[in-house]
Structure 1
Amino acid sequence: MKKLFKVVVALLAAITVASVAVPVATAHAATDANINASAAIAIDADSGKIMYAKNANQALPVASMSKLLTIYLVREAIKQGKIKWTDTIRPSKALAALSQNRSLSNVPMRTDTTYTVKELYQATLIYSADAAAMLLGDAVAGNQTKFVQMMNNKLQSWGIKDATIVNANGLNNSDLGSNMVPGTGKNAENKMSAKDMAILARNLLKDYPDVLKTTSITKMTFRKGTKDATEMDNWDWMLPGLIASYSKLKVDGLKTGTSDEAGDCFTGTVKINGMRMITVVLHANGSGTTKRFVQTAKLMSYVVHNWQTATLVKKGGTVKGHKTATVTKGKSKTVAIAASRTLKTVVPTGTTSANITKTYTSKKLAAPVKRGATAGTLDVKVKGDNLGYVDGAGSKVAVTTKTADAKAGFFRLLFRGIGEFFSNLF
């Protein structure tokens, strides 16, 4: 993210929240969030349910929000034991030079000093430090070329196929100089759709929820107590106490992004009314330095007032009209079946049971059948909701057997067949 001069931050800090904010209460009657941005999306982090979408499938520049993918790979490497928080790494001459470019968002680094994975992680998430993100890539993969390949592979593993990833920090390649990955294009820039960013953020929160402990830090000092000490103010101004915060929206992450091509972007998250939502705004329009946060607040407020959590299916619950399933050649001939899991999702406010349809599709069972075998699928739909889920799975629940059924013996099957033959004659 391009660095803004601290004097600007100081001036903006004097602006009251009321002068830059759209009060949360004003959005309750909206039937459409009407987000003023090139693209936007809002999803439920738990279920992946899409609650708002505007141009959500078009790949656009995402700038420093790319760093969330870098952070995911760092956390994954730590979990796998490939690196540790306390591991140290020394920047190359070229990367150290990049870190000294204060027209970018950076913490200064030197070639005669090593830096821990932990402090680079904090600098990347809190201050959006560009060179720090690239140094983390070196720690994980050994060099930038291999790390960018890892980034692309991870996105593809999540079903994201239309993204363009050329570096670890989201800068335009023209800003990287000799740090650019060969073959990626001198003016190339990371691109993802709003939906892609939501999927990335959802996976990060699902697999490493404690990332919020860092993204919610409003201020920290890099290399405290040294001559390189740098004050890091979080660029997420929606955090409580900062200039774009809202009393009814306790935002605790995740990441901003800014570039000439990307404009002002923000991937945000908040937990409210038992729902953890993720919002993405790409290239927010309007005036002022808080426009991405104004649009995010409008989107979050729209979700709060127009969506609610609901349990549509309970684990162990029976399927109406299908309490048992037939087992071909089974000893008992039938087994009890029930929903394999609880389906908790979000639905439009005011949804009632009359708006919900549950369609059961059975699967043929042949003995022997074990307990927990899939007997069918329950597809749950809410009338009027066509937004779907980011993972494409939809509201489907496997229906499984509650008991086992062994295969009937030869004589049992023989006499059963004879009985069925004669019963069919009359």
Structure 2
Amino acid sequence: MKKLMRGLIAAVVAVLMIGGAAPAMSVSAAESSDTNLVDAKAAVAIEPTTGKILYAKNASSVLPIASMTKMLSIELVLDAIKSGKINWDDKVTLNNAIWELSQNRDLSNVPLRRDGSYSVRELYDASLIYSANAAMMLLAEKVAGSQEKFVSQMTAKLNSWGITDAKIVNVTGLNNSQLKDAKVPGTDDNAENEMSAKDMAQVAQHLLKDHPEVLKTTSIAKQTFRKGTSDAIDMENWNWMLKGLVSYDKNLPVDGLKTGTSDAAGDCFTGTVEKNGMRIITVILHANGDAKTRRFDQTKKLMTNVLENWKTMTLAEAGQGIKGYDSVKVNRGQSRTTPIAPSTKAVAVVPSNSSKQSLQYTYTPAKGVKKNTVEAPVKKGTTIAQLEVSAKGDNLGFVGSSASEGITLKTTKTDNKANFFVLIFRGIGDFFSNIF
């Protein structure tokens, strides 16, 4: 008896140790085996639809991000346009602090007049194509009324995405010391925005999902600001991987997203490309090397490697069941089981040498579903579970909400509650079936 009790206690302790250790494994992304592939302080590559991490090097370390900040700022601007809070043709005027900043041509800026007014559209284009700092600040004030309120909105947006360790002190990504009187009150004089490569990829993921039209602007290599006026200035996109610019590669049709440069951040770049039916997002933080193109050189290596070594695999069409996960038990239902299937096309992103037989599945029942059983009545379209799919041996994980959601499985039929007599006879049948 004592031996039995000791065995039970040991088993319980082992289970508790396993249960306690599991969450720690998902705190940060695992490192890729070939971390030497990218010569930078940190890097990550993801597939944005699923959030699958395809490469990770120091991806969870919080580092300066410079003007890549503007992707988050533009997300909020496009949110405001989408909701009707502001319009593309709305005019924006300057205050003294932003006007003075706009005159500093050592920073990325387009020429702005103190008494001028500018449309949301032209400020938006200048912010994305030329990384114009004063233009971005004008948009922030148009949306929120002040830089301070806009920064609060930026932080709130990140928190809503589960990003809680970023530091946001301004809307542009400049070091606060460069903003002078335009600095957000109460922020450190020498602070600048910081975020991990993994979280930066998640910002880009949300931007493309929420506002895919942003690619129409981020893919513009050259454009003239205020064309036909005395203030006209040619804007060449700082993303030199676009067609017609110095780091263009015909094998990588890059169409975004945003560069960033500062003394603390070094040369950074969040890029995106779609090829062979798969879009990827890459983030390079503080690229190393002597060449002026170092961030693009490292991005090219990363994009090429990922596109060669990963692929998308269709597991099922919308409404089509996935073998082994195609039904759920219904307690007291007219039918004992009801079919379940993904509500949209189910796609997994896996290494290029993967087959369906080599995949592993993690099935997580939804709230109210216990032991793969749901109580009747159950309506068509009820969420039953999330199915996370990966290749065996792949431990890189996911970013953002995709990490917990995976493929959503829903009921494809309604199963009403069985009547009293059906349940009585079913119970009798089960009783004798269990006896024999």
TM-score between the two structures when normalised by the length of structure 1:
0.88
Aligned equivalent of 1:342:
345
5+ unaligned residues in a row in structure 2: which ranges? 1-32, 365-370
Determine helix, strand or coil for the equivalent of 1:252. Answer: strand
Distance change >3 Å, CA 389–CA 360, structure 1 → 2: closer
Displacement, 1:294? 0.5
State which of 254, 259, 269 in structure 1 corresponds to 2:257.
Answer: 254
State which of 247, 270, 280 in structure 2 corresponds to 1:267.
Answer: 270
Q: Give the distance between the partners of 2:341 and 2:214, measured in 1 at CA.
A: 36
Q: How does 1:14-25 map to 2 (within 5 A)?
A: none
Cα contact 2:350–2:390 (8 A) shared by 1: no
Distance change >3 Å, CA 324–CA 190, structure 1 → 2: closer
Q: Give the distance between the partners of 2:386 and 2:238, measured in 1 at CA.
A: 45
Letter in 2 for 1:224: K
Cα contact 2:330–2:375 (8 A) shared by 1: yes
Question: Is the counterpart of residue 398 in structure 1 residue 408 in structure 2?
Answer: yes
Distance change >3 Å, CA 188–CA 301, structure 1 → 2: same
Q: How does 1:356-367 map to 2 (within 5 A)?
A: 356-358=359-361, 360=363, 362-367=371-376
Aligned equivalent of 1:16:
none
Q: Give the distance between the partners of 2:122 and 2:179, measured in 1 at CA.
A: 22
Q: How does 1:57-206 map to 2 (within 5 A)?
A: 57-206=60-209
Aligned equivalent of 1:243:
246
Q: Give the distance between the partners of 2:302 and 2:326, measured in 1 at CA.
A: 42
Displacement, 1:376? 4.2
Q: Give the distance between the partners of 1:136 and 1:178, measured in 2 at CA.
A: 17
Distance change >3 Å, CA 409–CA 157, structure 1 → 2: same
**Equivalent pairs, count:** 397
Q: Give the distance between the partners of 2:375 and 2:54, measured in 1 at CA.
A: 41
Q: How does 1:251-400 map to 2 (within 5 A)?
A: 251-321=254-324, 324-358=327-361, 360=363, 362-391=371-400, 393-394=402-403, 396-400=406-410
Distance change >3 Å, CA 355–CA 32, structure 1 → 2: farther
Q: Give the distance between the partners of 1:323 and 1:235, measured in 2 at CA.
A: 49
TM-score between the two structures when normalised by the length of structure 2:
0.86
Displacement, 1:375? 4.0
Determine helix, strand or coil for the equivalent of 2:220. Answer: coil
Aligned equivalent of 2:421:
411
Aligned equivalent of 1:228:
231
Letter in 2 for 1:115: Y
Q: Give the distance between the partners of 2:108 and 2:176, measured in 1 at CA.
A: 15
Determine helix, strand or coil for the equivalent of 2:402. Answer: coil
Cα contact 2:288–2:294 (8 A) shared by 1: yes
Cα contact 1:31–1:306 (8 A) shared by 2: no
Q: CA RMSD in A?
A: 2.0
1:329-366 C-alpha deviation (Å, 9 max, x unpaired): 22233323334432213211111223213355653222
Determine helix, strand or coil for the equivalent of 2:37. Answer: coil
Aligned equivalent of 1:22:
none
Distance change >3 Å, CA 384–CA 98, structure 1 → 2: same
1:208-246 C-alpha deviation (Å, 9 max, x unpaired): 111111111111111222222222111111111111111
Determine helix, strand or coil for the equivalent of 2:113. Answer: coil
Distance change >3 Å, CA 310–CA 83, structure 1 → 2: same
Displacement, 1:320? 3.4
Q: Give the distance between the partners of 1:378 and 1:231, measured in 2 at CA.
A: 49
Determine helix, strand or coil for the equivalent of 1:209. Answer: coil
Letter in 2 for 1:369: V
Distance change >3 Å, CA 87–CA 333, structure 1 → 2: same
Aligned equivalent of 1:4:
none
Distance change >3 Å, CA 233–CA 324, structure 1 → 2: closer
Displacement, 1:313? 3.7
Letter in 1 for 2:92: I
Q: Give the distance between the partners of 1:338 and 1:269, measured in 2 at CA.
A: 31
Cα contact 1:96–1:108 (8 A) shared by 2: no
Distance change >3 Å, CA 316–CA 205, structure 1 → 2: same
Letter in 1 for 2:222: K
Distance change >3 Å, CA 379–CA 76, structure 1 → 2: closer
Q: Give the distance between the partners of 2:70 and 2:247, measured in 1 at CA.
A: 22
Aligned equivalent of 1:8:
none
Displacement, 1:378? 3.6
- Which stretch of the first structure deviates more once superposed, 208-217 or 369-378? 369-378
Displacement, 1:423? 5.0
Letter in 2 for 1:389: F
Q: Give the distance between the partners of 1:216 and 1:405, measured in 2 at CA.
A: 49
Displacement, 1:315? 3.0
